A = this chain, B = another copy of it.
């Protein structure tokens, strides 16, 4: 009888597309043929590879399932010598939809596994679509006892789950656990996954293969980073993070010693975030079938500077256009810095003076009998929305996607103009607190000055009135971000945060700002998830609400 150590494995790390079953099928067929040419025993694809993840309400259309079924049949046709593990949505015999993993060989479907634990927290809503399995079980493949599982099945410690999938499979004698996942990237996730696998295997005699999806869909990034752990808990193989790969791995690797764990998780946190943001931008344009080029309004501040830098690294300088739209409140330095930045990056910079438009609008509004002549935030917002208007015109006209530039601290506190500086199709920095924005900017400058130093060192300002500074309206960013992190990412309430040593009035002010700006965030442009709690679908609050937790 062979053992898992005697097989060979092919774990192609591919970038599938949600909804594009034809494209996914072709990727899968090419990979199967390549694996079979290398005479591998087992080819493994991630969760819902054939449909892409997450397919959401596409699952409600019968035509989508017809396409999936046809693709599955065509995939089976090319299988000659290998076993193939493939994730896809599949109806069971009672016509209930399942999140399934099938084991295929040349004869067809040899084994079907249905996902046992369905996640419904954070960005997940799988109970909306799928019926859960209650008996995970194992399968014997040419004498090798395999515990096949899908993503959440590994995370059985969560409060809502009652079945211990891995434990059951190990008790049934599984000598190899294979988990196919679509596990979204966050800063803490890679370490969590590896620790979890090791914990599940503790005191058991089994090897583990963890296969993760690669690529970005909307605000989610899947970092790939598939890995293998042996019976001793040693990490014996890892695929790269954020990149495709096509390694064939001999099962004898399970008998080897641990590789350097740096290969798996210990790349610089900022390098990891930078890679996630870039793949998200590239995939957004690519998977939407949109133009490859983007447009960014530069203010002279750190957020737009970092956004334009990320976009240039991701898309190339020929695909990035910057626009500077000053009023009389804009400092000369802001222009100089923007110009220097664009020179450093080798990108085009357009300038549109908007002071005269602003003046005409202000004058026209002053003429209304109902308007007094006091200056207020309403006046500040006019400028931001003129910029939004002109940028959207350029976006439409030049067929370039506008990127919004607000960071998580601003989005949290509502310190931005709805329909103004938040306009666009994508926001790369929306899940990074201001302090993380600075850190990432410095990371880009680690070898040479890409982002002009004065952009990083000048006090941040929206430049919407004379001599304005962010800190006129907000606590200093290091304090602000700590309070926000506790309130938003950790769901700590006012009293808990005050008890942790923060100033009572500051905490109350910050929490009030967060809670009363829910209506703005309800219209938020898509961001990129890199934290455990990202504004958007994974964080849900009532809008009409006066309660402050």
Residues of A within 8 A of B (CB): 17-21, 52, 54-58, 60-64, 95-96, 118, 120-121, 125, 127-128, 131, 159-160, 217-218, 283-284, 287-289, 350, 352-354, 356-357, 360-361, 364-365, 368, 370-371, 376-379, 381-382, 385-386, 388-390, 392-394, 396-398, 418-419, 423, 425, 491, 493-496, 519, 522-526, 537, 539-547, 549
Closest residue of chain B to A539, judged by CB? B57
A381's partner among B352, B393, B542 (CB-CB below 8 A) is B393
**What distance in Å separates the Cβ of A219 from its nearest Cβ neighbour in chain B?**
9
Q: Give the complex CA separation of A360 and B352 in angstroms.
A: 12
Closest B residue by C-beta to A423? B419
On chain B, the residues within 8 Å of A288 by CB distance are 519, 543-546
Complex CA distance for A526 and B494, rounded to whole angstroms: 28
Q: List 20 A-B contacts (CB under 8 A).
A: A19-B546, A20-B546, A63-B549, A64-B547, A95-B159, A96-B160, A125-B540, A131-B159, A217-B544, A289-B546, A350-B370, A357-B361, A357-B364, A364-B390, A365-B390, A370-B394, A377-B396, A379-B393, A522-B526, A523-B524
Q: Do the beta carbons of B120 and A61 come within 8 Å of each other? A: no
Asked if A545 and B131 sit within 8 Å, CB to CB, the answer is: no
- Chain B residues lying within 8 Å of A356, measured Cβ to Cβ, are 360, 364
Residues B128 and A121 in contact, CB atoms below 8 Å apart: yes
Number of copies: 2
Quote the shortest CB–CB distance from A322 to chain B (angstroms): 12
| Nearest Cβ on chain B to A358's Cβ, whole angstroms | 10
User: Once the chains bind, are A56 and B541 in contact (CB under 8 Å)?
Assistant: yes
Given A382-B389, A388-B419, A218-B544 contact (CB < 8 Å): yes
Q: Are A159 and B57 in contact, with the CB atoms below 8 A?
A: no
Residue of B nearest to A352 (CB): B364
Q: Does the CB pair A370–B392 fall under 8 Å?
A: no
CB neighbours of A547 from chain B (8 A): 18-21, 58, 64
Instruction: Please state if A549 and B382 are interface contacts (CB–CB under 8 Å).
Output: no
A15 to B340, CA, bound (A): 58
By CB atoms of chain B within 10 A, which of A55, A352, A385 has the most? A385
- Report Cα–Cα, A17/B354, bound state, in Å: 44
Are A127 and B131 in contact, CB atoms less than 8 angstroms apart?
no
- With A217-B544, A360-B360, A540-B57 in contact, is A385–B392 under 8 Å at CB? yes
Contact of A544 among B18, B62, B364 (CB under 8 A): B18
Which residue of B has the minimal Cβ distance to A61? B549
Partner of A542, one of B63, B120, B218: B218
Q: How far is the CA of A55 from the CA of B378 in the complex (A)?
A: 32
Q: Is the CB of A549 within 8 A of B127?
A: no
Contact A60 B491 (CB under 8 A): yes
In the bound assembly, the distance between CA atoms of A545 and B288 in angstroms comes to: 5
Determine the distance from Cα of A63 to Cα of B491 in the docked complex, in whole angstroms: 10
Query: Please, which residue of chain B has its CB at the minimum distance from the CB of A348?
Result: B370
With A494-B63, A542-B56: A160-B127 Cβ-Cβ less than 8 Å: yes
A125 surroundings in chain B (CB, below 8 A): 120, 125, 128, 540
Residues of B within 8 A of A20 (CB): 545-547
